[in-house]
Each structure stands twice: as structure tokens, then as C-alpha cells.
A = this chain, B = another copy of it.
Amino acid sequence: MSLTAQSAAKAGGTAPSVKTLKNLVRGDRPYVLYAAFAVLIVAFSFASPVFFSSSNFLNIGRQTALVTIIAVGMTFVIIAGEIDLSVASTLALSGMSAALAIQQSGGNWALGAAAGLATGALVGLVNGLLTTLLAIPSFLVTLGMLGIARGIALMLTGTTPVVVNSLTFWDSFGEGAILGVPAPIVITIVVIALGAYVLHFSTFGRRVFATGGNATAARYSGINTRRTKTLAFVITGALAGLAGLILTARAHAARPDIAAGLELDVIAAVILGGTSLFGGRGAILGTVLGSLMIGVLNNGLTLMGVSSQAQLVVKGAIIIAAVAFSRRK
């Protein structure tokens, strides 16, 4: 008895900070996934002369920004034991609401940003309240919301895109750069840092893990699991709204039919990063890795000139292989 307990104690006893760090990075999946990622990078660097360059890495960062930002929120929702299928529609609706606010206010970009974020958070709130108060599976609630938010986005202007004419808005969320790093990437990094802090270091993060790990136990420990879940949905909604701002700023306009199907990429990034679909386990950095991995695959294969059909096959196979190896003992 004491043998196992002691050896366990020894293993744990060494360095708490290292452990915490490891936990942060690891989620469910061991380091092999990181190795797989490294292998991919090396392979693409050989396969394509332009892959390994800072400008291409910025490209990848920009291309994955939307998915990464929303996936940070989705990590909260999935760890809490729920799912959000409505993020792509929320993104579109938030973008439209931001663009309309800017248009109506004659170019008030801050108002637009606030409107976009608020819209996203509101959709998340509705998702959360319906899921927790009515005890409906979030799969169905957010599937319904996927249609509702998209429908509203389309009806707002009768499917017409809304053009945004605000240089400040374009710059803040789209084309601006800080120290050469484009705004969307800066925003993504901030979101990752905040997300990791809240999930892994704050009490709210604890509650999220506990709620998804065992909702009954969490409730018995005095945790308001409904509020916890609802907040996770609100975070995700607001981040989808933020993604909507970025997309709108980059395109100089909001289109109501944008980003359809993005939810699958987002969920894939989260799961690939080691978060369990059944809740209770996961990590923000894993999610970031998952998103980057998909991004690197898309980018690398395109640079290599692989046809879009073959890309589907190769990407599918690499995802399965990477996870398979990382699951091996």
C-alpha cells in the first residue's frame, strides 16, 4: 500500500511549478503530439522553401487566429461538459451587429466593437441559460442557436453585406501591427494568455474543471454548476464576437453568410489538443497547439501544391496518426 502511495508522493514531490507547467501544456495527451507537431514543421521546411520564414509564420498565425480565439472559449465549454455548435453563426451575427453599429453611428468604431462583443456574449448567455435552466442538452440548444443566429444575421439586411468604413476599426482588429506583429495575432496572444490564466489559475477555472469532471460532486462542494456553465458559454460567445470583429475588420465588411462550418474546425482544434469531449480534462495550450497543427497542415500542404482533394486525405490521416501515436504508452 504505502509503496504506491510513497512512490506517487515521490513523483509528485519534486517540483510543483514544473508539474503545474506540465499540466498547463499537457491536458490529456502526452508529449508525442508536440513531437508530431515538430516533425510536421521540419518536414514542411524541407518540402517547401518558403515554409520556414517569419512572414509565413505570421501568415499561419493570421490564418488560425479566428479558430484559436474561439477555441479558447470552446475549451471552457467542453471542459465544463457541454458543447457549442453555434459559434460560427454567432461570429457572423456579431460581425453584422458591429458593422451596422459603425454604419449607423457614422463611423464610431468603439461602439461597433462593443456591439459585436455584446452580441456574442448575449448569444452565449442565451445558450447557457437554456442549457442549464431547462436542462436541454447543449448539443440541441446550440444547434438550434446555430440556425437562429445565422437566420437573424441574414435577415438583418436581407442577406446584403454591410461595408465598414473606419480606418481605426480596420487597423485595431485587422491590419494594424504592433512591433511588426499583426493585430489579429496580438489579440490572439492576449486571448490565449488570459484564457490560460483563468482556466488554470483562477477559482473559476477550478469550477469549470470540477463541473465537467463530476457535476454532482461539484454541486455537493457548493459550486454553482449552472452559473459556471453559463459563464463558459458567455465567454465563448464573446470570443466568437471578437473573432467576428477581426473578420469584419480584415474584410472591411461584414457578410452574414460568413464562416459557415467553422464550428467543426474549432471543436477539432480543442479535441486534438487533448481536451476530453466528456468534460473534466483539458488545457488551453493544448487547444492552441491543436489549432496551430491544423493551420500548419493547411498552410504547408497548400505551399507544397497538394491538390485540395488530396489535402483532405492527407490532413485526415495525419490527424489520426498524430493522435494515435500520442495515445500509445
Contact = CB atoms under 8 A, between A and B. Distances in A.
Contact of A154 (B140, B148, B151, B312): B312
Given A139-B277, A140-B271, A271-B137, A147 B312 contact: yes
A150 interface: yes
B316 A136 contact: no
Interface residues of A, number: 46
Nearest to A277: B139
A24 interface: no
Interface stretch (A37-45, A55-63, A317-325): A317-325
Contacts of A309: 151, 154-155, 159
B155 A313 contact: yes
Contacts of A9: none
A313 B151 contact: yes
Interface centre among A141, A147, A310, A316 (most CB of B within 10 A): A316
A146 interface: yes
Contact of A311 (B139, B144, B151, B323): B151
Given A271-B140, A277-B139, A152 B313 contact: yes
B268 A316 contact: no
A31 interface: no
Given A159-B309, A311-B151, A137 B277 contact: yes
Contacts of A139: 267-268, 271, 277
Contact of A261 (B135, B140, B144, B261): B261
B316 A264 contact: no
A141 B313 CA distance: 13
A311 B152 CA distance: 10
Interface string A293-329: 0000000000000010111111111011001100110
B310 A143 contact: no
B315 A140 contact: no
Interface in A119-156: 130, 134-137, 139-141, 143-148, 150-152, 154-155
A147 B313 contact: yes
B134 A324 contact: yes
Contacts of A145: 316, 320
A151 B271 contact: no
Contacts of A52: none
A14 B106 CA distance: 71
A201 interface: no
A288 interface: no
A100 interface: no
13 contacts: A136-B320, A136-B323, A139-B268, A139-B271, A140-B319, A143-B271, A145-B320, A147-B312, A147-B319, A148-B317, A151-B316, A155-B310, A261-B261
Given A134-B327, A137-B271, A143-B264, 11 more contacts: A130-B324, A139-B271, A141-B320, A143-B319, A144-B320, A147-B313, A148-B316, A152-B313, A154-B309, A155-B307, A159-B309
The 6 closest A-B pairs by CB, nearest first: A151-B312, A147-B316, A151-B313, A144-B316, A148-B316, A154-B309
